[in-house]
Chain A
Amino acid sequence: MISSDRSPASGTRFGRSVAIALASGALLAAGHLAGCASEQPAGPREYLDERTAATITVAGESMVFAYDRPDLGVNARDYVTLTAVDVNTAGRHATHLVGYAWSTLDKRAVKESDSRYEIVADDRTLPLQAMPAGFRSIGVDEPPIPVPSRDALPLTAPVTRDQLQFLRDTPGVRVVRTRDGVMERFDLWRAPGH
């Protein structure tokens, strides 16, 4: 699994810079894969989270994965939106992928049940942890990206620069949701800059 690769990307200024650059690069690379390389993603954005006193650096725009449900709606879908962030808590840096699982499908059309999300790149998987109460436990209170809908489920995963690099270099990165033993694949819907 991707998370087994414990690269010391955090803890140094260099590590933080590289991590964010790679995060941007990984997300940009996904844009190349989608065939829209001419557009550039927005640059990293930094803000001070006033509740956690952490400095949050957000890597450009989000990447979005979509799961089509043509049986339930022609244009409505389930989505997972993710972005990479560096959380600087008093000089201690940690890089995370954060985002939301959300949907534009009518609730009545789908059954709700416990779900497990993970990013899959080739044979490596990166589990995304559901955080229904928000990102506070990783030092983020103010959401780094807009909350897509009221019932969006926050997701996060710690990442290293090696993992981000692997994501960048791997075509066909996707998110897989497992619920009730059934796997549902979210393909890349929108990459940064699109």
Chain B
Amino acid sequence: MQVRFSAGPDCGRATASEPPPLLAGAAGYVRSIDLVRPFGSDVQVLIGWSRAETFVLTPSMDGRLLRVRLLRAETPQVTVQEMPQGTSTYAVNLASSTTPFTPDALAAAAKVAGTRTYVSATVVDEQRWYRLRAGPFVNEAAARQALANSRSEFPKAWIAISDDDTLNEIGTPSGVATVRSTAPQVNASMTPDEIKQTMAQAKDAFRHKNYATAIPLLTQLTQQPEFPQRADAQEMLALARERSGQVAHAKAEYEDYLQRYPTGSGATRVRKRLQALAWASRPGRSGAADSDHDESPWRVYGGFSQIYRQDQSHLESGLAVSDLTTQNALLTDVSLVARRHGERFDFTTRASAGYGYDMLSDGPGSQSRVSLFFAEMTDRIAGWYARLGRQAGGSAGLMGTFDGMQAGYQLWPRLRVNGFFGFPVDSTLEGPDSERKFVGVSADVGTLANAWDFSFYAVDQQYSGVTDRQAVGTEVRYFRPGITVVGIADFDIHYSTLNTMMLLGTFALPARWTLNLNLDHRKSPGLATRNAMIGQPVRRFDELFGLYTPQEIEQLALDRTSESTMYSAGVSRPFGERWQWSLDASTMTLGSTRESGGVAATPASGTDTAISTQALGYGLFGRGDVTSLGLQYQTGESSQVLSLGIGTQLPIGERWRVGPRLRLDQRKLEIDRSTSLTYSPALRAEMRGKHLTFEVEGGAEFGSRDMGTLSEDTNRYYFSLGYRYDF
């Protein structure tokens, strides 16, 4: 009879020599019993019957016994035999700690347990743990007795079975007296000098990409007991195997590295390599090709898209009927990024441009635009970078896109200084305009106290030789787990007035509540001398000089600049695993402007207040769907609007996503006491392949406005169809 057992993880480690099974009680039935380990952790029991037998095998309830029932014509007899000395050895895990136990703690524990104690170490979830243990014990009963003795002092004590080197040592438990390393010492055959020499040879071979030489040397090194450079040797071995195309071996080495050195200096790097390996080995990717690709310092990626859009409106007001096509265009966009990651220098170039082909006879015409077009060089050793071309601003007092250059230098570890110059871009449809130009400097300080980052800047902007904007400012960022605060202040020193003051905060509260605050006070539009052009019969700024003195122009700029103030606050929290709920409230006030230079005054807008709530549901219909329900009420001096929205995105198969949505708006206008109601259904579908994405969207707005004696119906239809290819 042959029975093969697969040893579970708790069945103890295989030992080289198994005690011969006993034949007690089986004499006369059994000629021999042998244990064989065919491979791995499997154990095969071979029972030779004294004569031909018919039998039934029955495992016991707890899986620890195997009953063999012989079926004979004579009086049946059941033989039940439990191994008197199990292959497992036991210990009582008295306590576990992330810090080592002192000899005193060991001695005190021995006194409590009434037996020997020792310390073993293990790594669980990347954390090294030290285990204070009593034992070993040769049977579970003795371990349970020790556990009972220890429970009062060690309430979280538990019985361990063959899960450390001490318990798996071949020999008697009495041999345990010292704490041993948990690291297996496979082949301690090299002297320290030999290790040093071999390491040097391996590094040299690795440096010259001679992996065939490096691998055996590094393998030999990793078989040595722990030495200072062993972690480096193992990482290098894994990398050498990976670069030799031995992906499985590389993966095994990386995994072993993480087991041994979970908090080592290279652990993060190794984790990333392992992730990259896993990603590269996904179906559909060629390992060899990608390996070669990864070797290249260049990465080039981008996308190309075309989308056709049409937008039509139908208006009926009293007897008047009109149809209007407001958009009929083909929009083409292209983006390209090329990066080179070198030993010292990184180079990046990025371009993003588009062309709108207008098919309307009375439309704005076909237009091309360039949003980004720059090249950047970074020296990681010297700590400088420079970027030249059309680029996005948004920080250090640079508002919007500009054509120019910025460069920075890491002066100290926590101080970087930057310089900027260039020409602001009003519209990406236009090329560089040298009439308006700026220079600026900034300093980035941080991170301080693991939380604070500061930026200070000064910028001077000239327009046709006149100061357009001259400001100093600061940005303060505070990041801590659960708290994010960003503050921005911009002060115009030419006009001696505060241009922008903004404070954004996100706070994680107990019970998974999140609080968002936003306080925003700013000039609107942003204060600049060019604001004087607003309402004036000029197309170029310098034409103002023929109409006004410089002082008058600056006053006009101030008169055209209003102030806006916005406060908003919101809370959100998840409910269950599938819902997220949020509530937001905001107020916004836009100030008045004065009459001057032939331009009429504009009154203050009053305060617009909005309150909205939204519920988002995830995975309600399956995996990956998102459903939203939203309600908003907005009230101000000119109108009140109540809006209700519902929408969902449903996966269909692996590639398709369909998103129907509906929005209802009820609006009351104070100016004529009219009421309008708008229904806006829409449907969007998207198919995403590996590189290619198709999308189609269609929708309508059906609006009716009741003005008492007159009614007005407006219908709008829109449609778009397009694709995007990413490479």
- Closest residue of chain A to B259 (Cβ to Cβ) is A181
A92, B623: Cβ atoms closer than 8 Å: no
- Write out the residue numbers on chain A whose beta carbons fall within 8 Å of the beta carbon of B122: 123
- Most B C-beta atoms less than 10 A away, residue of A75, A92, A103, A108: A75
The interface-forming segment of A18-26, A41-49, A51-59, A183-191 is A183-191
Q: What is the CB-to-nearest-CB distance from A25 to chain B, in angstroms, rounded to a whole number?
A: 15
A149, B622: Cβ atoms closer than 8 Å: yes
- Closest residue of chain B to A66 (Cβ to Cβ) is B577
CA distance A185 to B125 in the complex (A): 9
- Write out the residue numbers on chain A whose beta carbons fall within 8 Å of the beta carbon of B578: 104
- Beyond A5-B158, A190-B577, whether A181 also contacts B278 by CB under 8 A is yes
A4, B624: Cβ atoms closer than 8 Å: no
- Closest residue of chain A to B64 (Cβ to Cβ) is A6
CA distance A69 to B626 in the complex (A): 15
CA distance A155 to B401 in the complex (A): 53
B62, A11: Cβ atoms closer than 8 Å: yes
- Closest residue of chain A to B262 (Cβ to Cβ) is A183
Task: Report A100-130 CB contacts with B as 1/0, cut-off 8 Å.
Answer: 0011111111010100000010111101000
- Write out the residue numbers on chain B whose beta carbons fall within 8 Å of the beta carbon of A183: 125-126
- Write out the residue numbers on chain B whose beta carbons fall within 8 Å of the beta carbon of A166: 156, 158
- Closest residue of chain B to A93 (Cβ to Cβ) is B61
Q: What is the CB-to-nearest-CB distance from B137 to chain A, in angstroms, rounded to a whole number?
A: 13
B577, A77: Cβ atoms closer than 8 Å: yes
- Write out the residue numbers on chain B whose beta carbons fall within 8 Å of the beta carbon of A148: 577, 619
- Closest residue of chain B to A105 (Cβ to Cβ) is B624
The yes or no answer to B663 lying at the interface (CB within 8 A) is no
A181, B255: Cβ atoms closer than 8 Å: yes
A180, B278: Cβ atoms closer than 8 Å: yes
- Write out the residue numbers on chain B whose beta carbons fall within 8 Å of the beta carbon of A64: 577
Task: Report B121-159 CB contacts with A as 1/0, cut-off 8 Å.
Answer: 010111101010000000010000000000000011011
- Write out the residue numbers on chain A whose beta carbons fall within 8 Å of the beta carbon of B10: 1, 3-4, 6
* Contact among B129, B158, B623 with A103 in the assembled complex (CB-CB below 8 Å): B623
Q: What is the CB-to-nearest-CB distance from A152 to chain B, in angstroms, rounded to a whole number?
A: 9
The yes or no answer to B574 lying at the interface (CB within 8 A) is yes
- Write out the residue numbers on chain A whose beta carbons fall within 8 Å of the beta carbon of B129: 122-123
A104, B619: Cβ atoms closer than 8 Å: yes
Would you list which residues of chain A between 53 and 78 have a CB under 8 Å from chain B?
Answer: 64, 66, 73-77
The yes or no answer to A141 lying at the interface (CB within 8 A) is no
B131, A108: Cβ atoms closer than 8 Å: no
CA distance A105 to B619 in the complex (A): 8
Task: Report A69-96 CB contacts with B as 1/0, cut-off 8 Å.
Answer: 0000111110100000000000010000
The yes or no answer to A182 lying at the interface (CB within 8 A) is yes
- Write out the residue numbers on chain B whose beta carbons fall within 8 Å of the beta carbon of A36: 511
- Beyond A1-B9, A123-B129, A190-B577, whether A111 also contacts B62 by CB under 8 A is no
B580, A75: Cβ atoms closer than 8 Å: yes
The yes or no answer to B271 lying at the interface (CB within 8 A) is yes
A149, B160: Cβ atoms closer than 8 Å: no
Q: What is the CB-to-nearest-CB distance from B511 to chain A, in angstroms, rounded to a whole number?
A: 7
The yes or no answer to A162 lying at the interface (CB within 8 A) is yes
The yes or no answer to A169 lying at the interface (CB within 8 A) is yes
* Contact among B9, B62, B624, B651 with A6 in the assembled complex (CB-CB below 8 Å): B62
- Beyond A3-B10, A169-B156, A190-B576, whether A176 also contacts B125 by CB under 8 A is yes
- Write out the residue numbers on chain A whose beta carbons fall within 8 Å of the beta carbon of B654: 107-108
B271, A35: Cβ atoms closer than 8 Å: no
The yes or no answer to B416 lying at the interface (CB within 8 A) is no
The yes or no answer to B718 lying at the interface (CB within 8 A) is no
- Write out the residue numbers on chain A whose beta carbons fall within 8 Å of the beta carbon of B580: 74-75
- Write out the residue numbers on chain B whose beta carbons fall within 8 Å of the beta carbon of A123: 96, 122, 124, 127, 129, 131
Count of chain B residues near A, Cβ 8 A: 50
Would you list which residues of chain A between 138 and 167 have a CB under 8 Å from chain B?
Answer: 148-151, 162, 166
A106, B651: Cβ atoms closer than 8 Å: yes
Q: What is the CB-to-nearest-CB distance from A100 to chain B, in angstroms, rounded to a whole number?
A: 11
CA distance A127 to B10 in the complex (A): 11
- Closest residue of chain B to A11 (Cβ to Cβ) is B61
- Beyond A180-B274, A182-B274, whether A103 also contacts B126 by CB under 8 A is no
- Most A C-beta atoms less than 10 A away, residue of B126, B156, B162: B156
- Beyond A104-B618, A106-B623, A123-B96, whether A92 also contacts B61 by CB under 8 A is yes
- Write out the residue numbers on chain B whose beta carbons fall within 8 Å of the beta carbon of A181: 251, 254-255, 258, 271, 274, 278
Q: What is the CB-to-nearest-CB distance from A105 to chain B, in angstroms, rounded to a whole number?
A: 6
- Beyond A4-B159, A181-B278, A182-B274, whether A120 also contacts B125 by CB under 8 A is yes
CA distance A10 to B62 in the complex (A): 9
The yes or no answer to B712 lying at the interface (CB within 8 A) is no
- Write out the residue numbers on chain A whose beta carbons fall within 8 Å of the beta carbon of B158: 2, 5, 124, 162, 166
Q: What is the CB-to-nearest-CB distance from A192 to chain B, in angstroms, rounded to a whole number?
A: 13
- Write out the residue numbers on chain A whose beta carbons fall within 8 Å of the beta carbon of B622: 149-150
A75, B160: Cβ atoms closer than 8 Å: no
CA distance A174 to B155 in the complex (A): 21
- Closest residue of chain B to A74 (Cβ to Cβ) is B580
Task: Report B154-176 CB contacts with A as 1/0, cut-off 8 Å.
Answer: 01101111110000000000000
The yes or no answer to B545 lying at the interface (CB within 8 A) is no
The yes or no answer to B282 lying at the interface (CB within 8 A) is yes
CA distance A33 to B61 in the complex (A): 36
- Closest residue of chain A to B11 (Cβ to Cβ) is A4
- Closest residue of chain B to A170 (Cβ to Cβ) is B156
A104, B577: Cβ atoms closer than 8 Å: yes
Task: Report B627-664 CB contacts with A as 1/0, cut-off 8 Å.
Answer: 00000000000000000000000010011000000000
Q: What is the CB-to-nearest-CB distance from A124 to chain B, in angstroms, rounded to a whole number?
A: 7
CA distance A36 to B511 in the complex (A): 9
- Write out the residue numbers on chain A whose beta carbons fall within 8 Å of the beta carbon of B277: 180
CA distance A54 to B536 in the complex (A): 87
Task: Report B425-464 CB contacts with A as 1/0, cut-off 8 Å.
Answer: 0000000000000000000000000000000000000000
The yes or no answer to B5 lying at the interface (CB within 8 A) is no
A105, B61: Cβ atoms closer than 8 Å: no
* Contact among B124, B155, B619, B655 with A125 in the assembled complex (CB-CB below 8 Å): B124
CA distance A92 to B60 in the complex (A): 11
Would you list which residues of chain B between 557 and 591 have a CB under 8 Å from chain A?
Answer: 574, 576-578, 580
CA distance A2 to B163 in the complex (A): 11
B619, A149: Cβ atoms closer than 8 Å: yes
- Most A C-beta atoms less than 10 A away, residue of B278, B577, B616: B577
A35, B510: Cβ atoms closer than 8 Å: yes
The yes or no answer to B279 lying at the interface (CB within 8 A) is yes
Please name the 3 residue pairs, one residue from A and one from B, whose CB atoms are nearest each other, closest first.
Answer: A180-B278, A104-B619, A106-B624
- Can you list 22 contacts pairing A with B, beta carbon distance less than 8 Å? A1-B10, A2-B158, A3-B9, A4-B161, A4-B163, A8-B62, A75-B574, A76-B619, A79-B577, A104-B577, A104-B618, A104-B619, A106-B623, A106-B651, A108-B655, A113-B278, A120-B125, A123-B129, A124-B124, A170-B156, A181-B274, A183-B126
Known A-B contacts: A6-B140, A111-B279, A127-B9. Give 18 more (CB < 8 A).
A2-B158, A3-B9, A92-B61, A102-B623, A104-B578, A104-B619, A104-B623, A106-B623, A123-B124, A123-B131, A124-B124, A148-B619, A149-B622, A170-B156, A180-B251, A181-B255, A182-B271, A183-B125
| Chain B contact residues, CB within 8 Å of chain A | 9-10, 61-62, 96, 122, 124-127, 129, 131, 140, 155-156, 158-163, 251, 254-255, 258, 271, 274-275, 277-279, 282, 510-511, 574, 576-578, 580, 616, 618-619, 622-624, 626, 651, 654-655, 688
